[in-house]
Amino acid sequence: MVISNSVSIPAELLTQPVEREKRIVSVGRLHPQKNQKLLIGAFAKIAMDIPDYTLEIYGDGDLHDELQEQIGSLGLRDRIKLMPSCQNILEQIRQASLFILTSDYEGMPNALMEAMALGLPCISTDCKPGGARELIDNNNSGIIVPIGDEVCLAEKIKYMICHPEIAEQMATKASQITVEYSEKRIFDAWENFCSTIIEK
């Protein structure tokens, strides 16, 4: 039996109007697992093609200085920002144009679940063992890219930015995970599972 995490977004965030800002965002601790180096490299490849956009990476961790050095070596200190973790992360990212997860491996990625539930257009690596692919219907409710493929990621970022109507359609479909992974549905699944074990 596999029972996923639930996802819950404050109602006020779902009812407030959204005006997309020219920001690409990512959330996760600064750790090799999350592979923010891939995201920084992909953004650098298309930075000149989307000159009005910035990249914000939210999170703390041991790789902060190393990632900052990578950003500096690419000449993108004014375009890529390492942002500290914050309590109101959903409010910080809700009006971004795109959310990206670049992990090499994850369980069921909570950051991606919350971004989708917020109605953000999302791109994720096909991180093992398959949680992102379970959440995203590729090219329908978001985009899945191969692990570690900087070129493909760059192409998909540019595609989503240059096709905002398609991105918004995907975001609308993505937001439906609030139904499939609602607290009630997940809690009911646990209750049914526990009842089955007790009966045995």
**What pLDDT digit, counting tens, does each position of 6-28 carry?**
788 888 888 888 999 999 999 99
Q: What angle do CA 88, 93, 95 make, to 5 degrees?
A: 125
Residue 13 lies in a domain: no
Q: For the segment 25-39, what is each residue's pLDDT rounded down to a tens digit?
A: 999 999 999 999 999
Which CATH number fits the domain that encloses residue 121?
Answer: 3.40.50.2000
The answer to whether 167 and 141 have CB atoms below 8 angstroms apart is no
Residue 94 lies in a domain: yes
The answer to whether 42 and 153 have CB atoms below 8 angstroms apart is yes
Instruction: Please choose, from the candidates 35, 28, 21, 181, the residue with its C-alpha nearest in 3D space to the C-alpha of residue 111.
Output: 28
Residue 2 lies in a domain: no
Q: How many angstroms separate the CA atoms of 41 and 172, rounded? A: 28
Alpha helices in the chain (DSSP H): 11-15, 36-46, 64-73, 89-93, 110-118, 131-135, 150-162, 164-174, 177-180, 183-199
Hey, what are 162's tokens? 């240059």
Alpha helices in 3-109 (DSSP H): 11-15, 36-46, 64-73, 89-93
pTM above 0.85, yes or no: yes
Residue 12 lies in a domain: no
3-state SS class at 122: strand
H or E, element range at 82: strand 80-83
Residue 4 lies in a domain: no
- Domain count for the chain: 1
Q: What is the DSSP letter of 101?
A: E
Give me the domain span that covers residue 86: 19-199
Residue 58 lies in a domain: yes
Residue 7 lies in a domain: no
pLDDT tens track, the chain, 200 positions: 677 787 888 888 888 889 999 999 999 999 999 999 999 999 999 999 999 999 999 999 999 999 999 999 999 999 999 999 999 999 999 999 999 999 999 988 999 999 999 999 999 999 999 999 999 999 999 999 999 999 999 999 999 999 999 999 999 999 999 888 877 777 778 888 888 888 77
Residue 6 lies in a domain: no
Q: What angle do CA 159, 163, 168 make, to 5 degrees?
A: 115
Instruction: Please choose, from the candidates 104, 102, 77, the residue with its C-alpha nearest in 3D space to the C-alpha of residue 25.
Output: 102
